[in-house]
Chains A and B, each alone.
Chain A
Amino acid sequence: MPEEATGEGLAAVDRYHQDYGSRARELKRQGKKILGYLCAFVPVEIITAAGFMPFRIKGDVNEPITKADTEMETIVCPLVRSCFDMALKGNYEFLDGIVIPHACDSICRTYDIWKYSLHLPYSHFINMPHGTGKPSLDFYQAVLNTFRTSLSRFAGREISDQELTQAIGLHNQNRAKVRELYELRKASPPLISGTEVARVLIAAMSIPVEESIKMLGDVIEEVKQRGGVLAQKSARIMVVGAQVDSVAFIELIEDSGAWVVADDLCPGAREFFSDVTVTADPIEGIAERYLRKVKCGRTYREMKGNYEEYLEDRFGHMSRMIEGFNVDGVVLYIYKYCDPFGFEVPQIKSYIESKGTPVLYLEDEYSMSTIGRLRTRIQAFLELLGSK
């Protein structure tokens, strides 16, 4: 008799990925309060410490944006519009609240629209600064203390330092698990495909952190046990971009004859490769991590030293990843109207190319119908890599 896929690893991933939000819905019925958030810049540690479940709101490339168009103009980031469209269409009806950071302008300026359209019991805006200097860090710490106070008011109780420290431990553990999973991509061929990894990370952002740690551990065990099941392909690709919350794009690359083995994406390495340091005042460590350690185009890292040093500071982790994961080519994947990443495209491209790795830059509109159009470019890029 064939074995049923009942494991708590990849089978659970498929379940949560297919029916995004199903676990949150279940927990809600059991009385858990669910707080939705946009972007990796919401300190989930504080939400977990307050006893709530952080749930990352995602869009859907398969769903044409319709309802959101009456509230948000089409010059707003298509991903933000899709997230909002999904919420308006009732996909996130289980939310007790939303937390929105000043990540980029599209996310920031739509906070009030989310607030009045969804009428949730709780909503909070995190006024995150964009610089990384000392005054910005001090300001951000104050902002996070306000968030802590606001959440404890909603929880009806204090959030203790001990609870925060514990939550930090859990989220760090979760990140460590993701990094362990990434180690399995270093083999050639990788032990796990990029499409599978994307699915795992998407599933993980829809369940409580304790369950995510467990699920990731199970996935790692299952993948190690099944051994090398993937065929050899012609190239090892790294994808760099903003938030890619669907597997469609990764799948397209892998269907075109390459493996996606590394990334600087969200969900992905950007979100999971840096930890929060436990500090006497836990908020301090949290502030430091989100403002300074997570390297994203939304944060402006003031130029110190010469231009080369600046590039090294901002993008050095990418070239280390290219080396560590033996990457042959980088695909830079940006959504239309994404200004934080748009500003950085020429820099990223020239920086990575100067290190000897070819880059394919693609602009897309966050929709399945446009993803297909990228096929020829991706295939041509792989042909170029092959004939090098």
Chain B
Amino acid sequence: MSQYFAGIDLGSTMTKVVIMNQAVLASVIGPTGPEHRKLANRVMEEALVKANLPFADITYVVATGYGRINVPFADKQITEISCHARGVGYLLPEVRTVIDIGGQDSKGIKLKDGRAVDFVMNDKCAAGTGRFLEVTAEGLGVKLDDMGKLSLTAKNAVRISNTCTVFATQEVVAKLAEGVPLPDIIGGLHEAIAARVYSMVRRLKIEREVALTGGGAKNIGLVKALETKLGYPVLVPPEPLLTGAIGAALLGKDIVKEAAEKGETLPRSERRLQEATFFT
């Protein structure tokens, strides 16, 4: 009988689910709302429909991400650090350093033999995360999705001196009023975020190859800005939002395999796929 593994990554902004056996069978990406628990069920159901599997056929479920404790049907919670490392190690085995830029945090992970060995993380401050671009895009009246492309057309990217998201927004509005061209401002914003992330990750002693994951990796401007900082190209997985969920599913598979080898029975989550209430 084939075994299936699900990984669910409940991030601050996006929720990601994958179902795997030997390869990824189905994946779903949806926005995370305030109601984590309801959403975890919904995206999971959607993924099951895509994979054409009943929930009972899933051997093991691992939840990760900022909302991992809010997945009532998960058999285990594992931090996004371990999951990103496992996912990137699987997708891009040559990678030694992962830079993940999420909606509300950013992190650097050092890999050895496909596993995390060290990490740094910023989740205290919006600067250096997706939120920084989200907020400043709003201030500039530009769609978030257009920011990356626009930044590439900058001729003289301005220097954004404020690392605080709120004040940086004021600063860019002031620059706009001074008549600085929009692409130069957006270019400066991308440089600012890249500088911030780079200086944090540098503490790990960056080694090639470097992979960029998370929502930030979908922004071409940010990819280029980071490449400029690093001085060489970075690798981006085909769907950079899914590495955490893939890693979660793979770690579930590892756990099941290890237990089988040792002849142990695994404690499974008692809960079924159902909408959790605050009283469960």
Q: Is B124 a contact of A373 with CB atoms below 8 Å?
A: yes
Complex Cα spacing A384 to B86, Å: 12
Q: Does B26 interact with chain A (Cβ within 8 Å)?
A: no
Complex Cα spacing A379 to B79, Å: 7
Decide: A376 near B124, CB < 8 A? Known: A383-B116, A387-B115: no
Q: Does B80 interact with chain A (Cβ within 8 Å)?
A: yes
Interface of chain A residues 342 through 388 with chain B (CB within 8 A): 358, 370, 373, 376-377, 379-380, 383-384, 387
Decide: A377 near B82, CB < 8 A? Known: A383-B116, A384-B116, A387-B115: no
Contacts of B115 in A (CB 8 A): 384, 387
Interface of chain A residues 293 through 345 with chain B (CB within 8 A): none
Q: Is A376 a contact of B80 with CB atoms below 8 Å?
A: yes
Q: Is A380 a contact of B123 with CB atoms below 8 Å?
A: no
**Number of A interface residues in the complex (CB < 8 A):** 10
Interface of chain B residues 114 through 143 with chain A (CB within 8 A): 115-119, 121, 123-124
Q: Is B119 a contact of A380 with CB atoms below 8 Å?
A: yes
Q: Which of A376, A377, A379 has the most CB of B within 10 A?
A: A376
Among B82, B121, B124, which residue has its beta carbon within 8 angstroms of that of A387?
B82
Q: Does B71 interact with chain A (Cβ within 8 Å)?
A: no
Complex Cα spacing A383 to B79, Å: 8
Contacts of B81 in A (CB 8 A): 376, 380, 383-384
Complex Cα spacing A370 to B123, Å: 11
Q: Is B121 a contact of A376 with CB atoms below 8 Å?
A: yes
Contacts of B79 in A (CB 8 A): 376, 379-380, 383
Q: Is A377 a contact of B121 with CB atoms below 8 Å?
A: yes
Shortest CB-to-CB span from B63 to chain A, Å, is 12
Shortest CB-to-CB span from A234 to chain B, Å, is 13
Q: Does B28 interact with chain A (Cβ within 8 Å)?
A: no
Shortest CB-to-CB span from A363 to chain B, Å, is 9
Q: Does B78 interact with chain A (Cβ within 8 Å)?
A: yes
Complex Cα spacing A266 to B268, Å: 41
Shortest CB-to-CB span from A374 to chain B, Å, is 10
Q: Is B78 a contact of A383 with CB atoms below 8 Å?
A: yes
Contacts of A358 in B (CB 8 A): 118
Q: Is A384 a contact of B117 with CB atoms below 8 Å?
A: yes
**Number of B interface residues in the complex (CB < 8 A):** 14
Complex Cα spacing A384 to B78, Å: 11
Shortest CB-to-CB span from A283 to chain B, Å, is 45
Q: Closest B-chain residue to A377, C-beta based? A: B121
Shortest CB-to-CB span from B42 to chain A, Å, is 24
Shortest CB-to-CB span from A366 to chain B, Å, is 14
Q: Is B123 a contact of A373 with CB atoms below 8 Å?
A: yes
Contacts of B124 in A (CB 8 A): 370, 373
Complex Cα spacing A384 to B85, Å: 11
Complex Cα spacing A379 to B78, Å: 8
Contacts of B66 in A (CB 8 A): 376
Shortest CB-to-CB span from B111 to chain A, Å, is 11
Contacts of B119 in A (CB 8 A): 377, 380, 384
Complex Cα spacing A384 to B119, Å: 10
Contact with A along B68-88 (1 / 0, CB 8 A): 000000000011111000000
Complex Cα spacing A331 to B121, Å: 15
Complex Cα spacing A370 to B79, Å: 18
Shortest CB-to-CB span from A198 to chain B, Å, is 25
Contacts of A387 in B (CB 8 A): 82, 115-116
Q: Closest A-chain residue to B124, C-beta based? A: A373
Shortest CB-to-CB span from A252 to chain B, Å, is 14
Contacts of B78 in A (CB 8 A): 383
Q: Which of B81, B117, B123 has the most CB of A within 10 A?
A: B81
Contacts of A373 in B (CB 8 A): 123-124
Shortest CB-to-CB span from B226 to chain A, Å, is 22
Contacts of B80 in A (CB 8 A): 376, 380
Complex Cα spacing A383 to B117, Å: 10
Complex Cα spacing A127 to B230, Å: 48
Complex Cα spacing A384 to B123, Å: 19
Complex Cα spacing A264 to B66, Å: 31
Complex Cα spacing A373 to B79, Å: 13
Shortest CB-to-CB span from B16 to chain A, Å, is 17
Interface of chain B residues 26 through 66 with chain A (CB within 8 A): 66
Shortest CB-to-CB span from A105 to chain B, Å, is 24
Contacts of A383 in B (CB 8 A): 78-79, 81-82, 116
Shortest CB-to-CB span from B121 to chain A, Å, is 6
Q: Closest B-chain residue to A365, C-beta based? A: B124
Complex Cα spacing A171 to B104, Å: 49
Complex Cα spacing A376 to B123, Å: 10
Contact with B along A188-224 (1 / 0, CB 8 A): 0000000000000000000000000000000000000
Interface of chain A residues 47 through 87 with chain B (CB within 8 A): none
Contacts of B121 in A (CB 8 A): 376-377, 380
Complex Cα spacing A379 to B64, Å: 12
Shortest CB-to-CB span from B123 to chain A, Å, is 6
Shortest CB-to-CB span from B167 to chain A, Å, is 17
Shortest CB-to-CB span from B128 to chain A, Å, is 15
Q: Closest B-chain residue to A359, C-beta based? A: B118
Contacts of A370 in B (CB 8 A): 124
Complex Cα spacing A387 to B115, Å: 8
Q: Closest A-chain residue to B116, C-beta based? A: A384
Complex Cα spacing A373 to B118, Å: 18
Shortest CB-to-CB span from B163 to chain A, Å, is 15
Contacts of A376 in B (CB 8 A): 66, 79-81, 121, 123
Q: Closest A-chain residue to B105, C-beta based? A: A376
Provide a sorted-by-A list of 26 A–B residue pairs whose CB atoms are within 8 angstroms. A358-B118, A370-B124, A373-B123, A373-B124, A376-B66, A376-B80, A376-B81, A377-B119, A377-B121, A379-B79, A380-B79, A380-B80, A380-B81, A380-B82, A380-B116, A380-B119, A383-B78, A383-B79, A383-B81, A383-B82, A384-B81, A384-B115, A384-B118, A384-B119, A387-B115, A387-B116
8 additional A-B pairs beyond A377-B119, A379-B79, A380-B79, beta carbons within 8 Å, are A377-B121, A380-B116, A380-B121, A383-B82, A383-B116, A384-B81, A384-B116, A387-B82
The 3 residue pairs across chains A and B that have the minimum distance between CB atoms: A380-B81, A380-B79, A383-B82
